[in-house]
Amino acid sequence: MAIQSFGVAGPFRPGYAFQTLAQRPYKDKKDFIERRVKRLLKAGIISALTCMVKADNSILTDQTKEMLARVFLALAEDTKDRGTIVAHGGGKTLIPLALEGTETGKIRTCHALAKIAAISNPEIAFPGERIYEVVRPLVSLLHTERDGIQNYEALMSLTNLAGLNDKMRVKILKEKALPDIENYMFEEHDQIRQAATECMCNLVVCKETVQWLEILQRLCLHDNMQIQHRGLVIVYNMMNADVELAKKLIESEILEILTVIGKQEDSPKRQEVIDVARTCLTTAIDLGLIKPFS
């Protein structure tokens, strides 16, 4: 909500109060807010906010930090503006705000972090070792009491991070994000479910993911064809990435799943799923892991 200023009361004039109150919301409409945000960004507000946080954190009260969080969240609303925030150091400035302050302030800061991490190159937005400090705030948005948009953007940002390297994937697992991500894979909301599935796709390649084989099997047997297709594509990518990994997959129940799906009759509705399963079986034959079917 935009902050409104109220002047000192003057002599009563008929119709004045009604006119003033009726006009105030007019400038709180979306297009006015967007224009104000653009002007603030152009004026260098990110640098100013960064200086406030860095100057002397001890003089920032929890209420001030909450207000800063509200400002950052509003500035990060438009995806086109997030690059400007990153370029002026806004990404790393948010990290301390996500760890200290009021609960409302921390949640809003975490949400602003998620918006930035979801579409930016994390290594640029959060340079150096600071990138690993972003994980905990993002995982906190996976709690069921958070809003759906917060869940979704947290999953998108964790997907982006999980695609970087094994060290990052291990960090995400150590923050105990896996159970929440798995739960969201069966969420009724399509976008949240797909975001969780994509995140899991990036995590299962990590050797620390003990349950990855069981999760992968569940994906390949899923009733939702989009999720099933994603699971089979993961199997295919893993088989092509590493021979030892391909051998481990074929020695598991994955082979039986691939065989059952691959032997299904051609069907326009399920053809993508069937074709990926057949391609996986062909790859296994080419690697000498199974014999050609008679």
**Within this chain, do residues 81 and 173 fall inside the same structural domain, yes or no?**
yes
Q: What is the dihedral of CA 89, 91, 95, 97, to 10 degrees?
A: 80
What band does 104 get if pLDDT is binned at 50, 70 and 90?
very high
Q: Which residue has the higher pLDDT, 207 or 213?
A: 213
Long-range contact pairs involving 252-255 (C-beta distance under 8 Å, separation at least 24): 252/213, 252/217, 253/217, 254/213, 254/216, 254/217, 254/220, 255/284, 255/290
* Same structural domain, 251 and 203: no
**124 and 175 share a domain?**
yes
Separation of CA 5 from chain center: 36
Same domain, 36 and 172: yes
Does the residue 195 lie in any domain?
Answer: yes
Of 178, 210, 242, which residue constitutes the final position of a domain? 210
Nearest residue to 171 via CA among 136, 144, 125, 205:
136
Q: How confident is the model at residue 140, as a pLDDT?
A: 96
The answer to whether residues 84 and 187 belong to one domain is yes
The answer to whether 147 and 153 are in contact (CB under 8 A) is: no
How sure is the predictor about 120, in pLDDT bands with cuts at 50, 70 and 90?
Answer: very high
Q: Which domain holds residue 146?
A: 27-210
Q: Is the model's pLDDT at 230 over the cut of 50?
A: yes
275, 191: one domain: no
Token pair for residue 129?
Answer: 């070792």
Q: What is the pLDDT of residues 145-173, one digit of tens each?
A: 999 999 999 999 999 999 999 999 999 99
Average pLDDT of 83-90? 92
Number of structural domains in the chain: 2
**pLDDT the model gives residue 116:** 95
Same structural domain for residues 163 and 222? Answer: no
- Picking from 210, 231, 258, the residue at the C-terminal end of a domain is 210
Backbone angles phi, psi at 50, to 5 degrees: -60, -45
Q: What is the CATH number of the domain that holds 145?
A: 1.25.10.10
Give the span between the Cα atoms of 179 and 34, in whole angstroms: 37
Position 227 in a domain? yes
The reply to whether 21 falls in a domain is no
**Are 181 and 275 found together in one domain?**
no
The answer to whether residues 49 and 185 belong to one domain is yes
The residue out of 175, 210, 245 marking a domain boundary is 210
